[in-house]
Structure 1
């Protein structure tokens, strides 16, 4: 596949482009633009794309990462909520990657609500994104649920969020994001990212998270039923599962019975359970509260 010539955006070009658009990065949209070419090249390299991949990028902003993705993928679908940025991105691609600009589709939409039907062409196979930090977890979970075609992903998120997404059972930061992500994929930390590669410089550290799709646990319970148990278990994480699942089961005694039938100690807490354990508990929910 012909790679074409791409001129990446640097700090000067990004500030100039933002000034021309009258853009002031907002905390509300979680806008911190990557200004370091080495970082975007590292993200693309770590994502392990092949020439047939259709990439979905969320929050492309001014296009730093988009430009680095175009030579490495068959197509890039960029989902951008900001209409000014969405309108500018195809022009930036045409200016800086003229031979590859035809590979880019821009979808002006909210990534938290975008559906598979709204995305043009072949379904995406890879998620690669510098995610807006205030919505990173719900965006990842929504896209994994909405796009079963996604086989892999590499996302940049706040360092603490990266820890939570990749945390194993028993970890201090293991919680709802960890278990729900594990329903869809194997998740691991894929390296730190320094603050100075962004403009404006955020007051938090960042990290890369790699996702590899796998089959969900074999269970007779639906995903919604399993996720209901997960939400209940962590809503009051200091409580034992017997107490935390009392509302879900109807009574604490009913919760204890369901847990015992699932082979789970009722006195343990949610952070000890893997996603397969939660699936077993969901299968044993009492028919009557």
Structure 2
């Protein structure tokens, strides 16, 4: 069990509102800002993430610092990426006030997570496996996850809070009504699983949607041929753009009859029934057909 740092204090509802008022900060819907005001929920997220002392952690959208302090409480090394300039400027002050040792273990970047590249993070993130722990902005949660998984091979696992409908799609299995392109693309990198629901009352302001936790573990890196990822994802996108059509119809012009024979995949199936492994088999067969 992780030994928590007793020198760190987590934020409650009154702390969050006071900090926001002092800094002149109002949550904006545009940036998907809903701040966690319940220390119990913060500790639950960190516990589910399995954060230990000296772990390397990335947080996207730290906001006013609720989850940030929970991560620092575990003596982890943290980089926090915040798009809002006012919030990024305020965060060091909050960390200094609520954590005696946290200031030496946090690196804050004022940038859009969708634009983050390896060169933007400390060198450690290109050398060691790290964990993403975040209350993600709900309107861009899926693009952020897919972007980070693509750009950072050492992003080994994550525990994120997202809108429940997004969580359901991320963990959906082939053949289900909610299985789609995001489900297949996440599966390219590893295994996503549901990690529990979060009530609306733990946020300020309370969102109009339900929230859920999703956990993820990356597969061994050699299990995927990244050189062909883009072409596999292009097949996934094409198949789900017309999800009620058969593969033969949806992928016409991309996949020839011989490729179906090589791969052993029935062209009368729909894309929503294929695993990511089958999409890869189909892409490999198409390349073989064209050779």
Q: Does the CA-based 8 Å contact 1:8-1:96 persist in structure 2?
A: yes
Q: Determine if the alignment matches structure 1 residue 230 to structure 2 residue 236.
A: yes
Match of 2:252 in 1: 246
Q: Equivalent of 1:23, from 15, 25, 33?
A: 25
Deviations 1:93-134 (A, max 9, x none): 000002222101001110011001100241161000000000
Match of 1:264 in 2: 265
Deviations 1:263-286 (A, max 9, x none): 111011111111100001111226
- Assess, with a 3 A threshold, how the Cα gap between structure 1 residues 219 and 83 changes in structure 2: closer, same or farther: closer
Whole-Å separation in 1 of the counterparts to 2:41 and 2:280: 38
Aligned ranges for residues 143-182 of structure 1 at < 5 Å? 143-182=148-187
Q: Does the CA-based 8 Å contact 1:125-1:149 persist in structure 2?
A: yes
Deviation at 1:169, TM superposition (A): 1.0
Whole-Å separation in 2 of the counterparts to 1:214 and 1:271: 22
Q: Does the CA-based 8 Å contact 2:188-2:224 persist in structure 1?
A: no
Relative to the length of structure 1, the TM-score reads 0.93
Deviations 1:144-195 (A, max 9, x none): 1111111111000000100000011111110111110001111000000011
Specify every segment of 5 or more residues in structure 1 that has no aligned partner in the other structure, as ranges.
none
Aligned length: 283
- Matched position secondary structure for 1:267: coil
Deviation at 1:221, TM superposition (A): 6.3
Q: Does the CA-based 8 Å contact 1:3-1:100 persist in structure 2?
A: no
Whole-Å separation in 1 of the counterparts to 2:148 and 2:177: 26
Relative to the length of structure 2, the TM-score reads 0.93
Structure 1 vs Structure 2 CA RMSD: 1.7
- Assess, with a 3 A threshold, how the Cα gap between structure 1 residues 110 and 244 changes in structure 2: closer, same or farther: same
Whole-Å separation in 2 of the counterparts to 1:220 and 1:192: 33
Match of 1:281 in 2: 282
Q: Does the CA-based 8 Å contact 1:232-1:248 persist in structure 2?
A: no
- Assess, with a 3 A threshold, how the Cα gap between structure 1 residues 64 and 258 changes in structure 2: closer, same or farther: same
Deviations 1:62-120 (A, max 9, x none): 00000000022431100000011001111100000022221010011100110011002
Aligned ranges for residues 114-129 of structure 1 at < 5 Å? 114-123=116-125, 125-129=130-134
Aligned ranges for residues 74-93 of structure 1 at < 5 Å? 74-93=76-95
Whole-Å separation in 2 of the counterparts to 1:220 and 1:62: 37
Match of 1:139 in 2: 144
Q: Determine if the alignment matches structure 1 residue 207 to structure 2 residue 212.
A: yes
Runs of 4+ that moved beyond 4 A: 216-221
Specify every segment of 5 or more residues in structure 2 that has no aligned partner in the other structure, as ranges.
none
Match of 2:40 in 1: 38
Deviations 1:229-277 (A, max 9, x none): 111110111111111101434xxxx2x4322321111011111111100
Whole-Å separation in 2 of the counterparts to 1:67 and 1:86: 14
Q: Does the CA-based 8 Å contact 2:4-2:74 persist in structure 1?
A: no
Aligned ranges for residues 48-127 of structure 1 at < 5 Å? 48-123=50-125, 125-127=130-132
Q: Determine if the alignment matches structure 1 residue 188 to structure 2 residue 169.
A: no
Q: Does the CA-based 8 Å contact 1:10-1:35 persist in structure 2?
A: yes
Q: Does the CA-based 8 Å contact 2:31-2:137 persist in structure 1?
A: yes
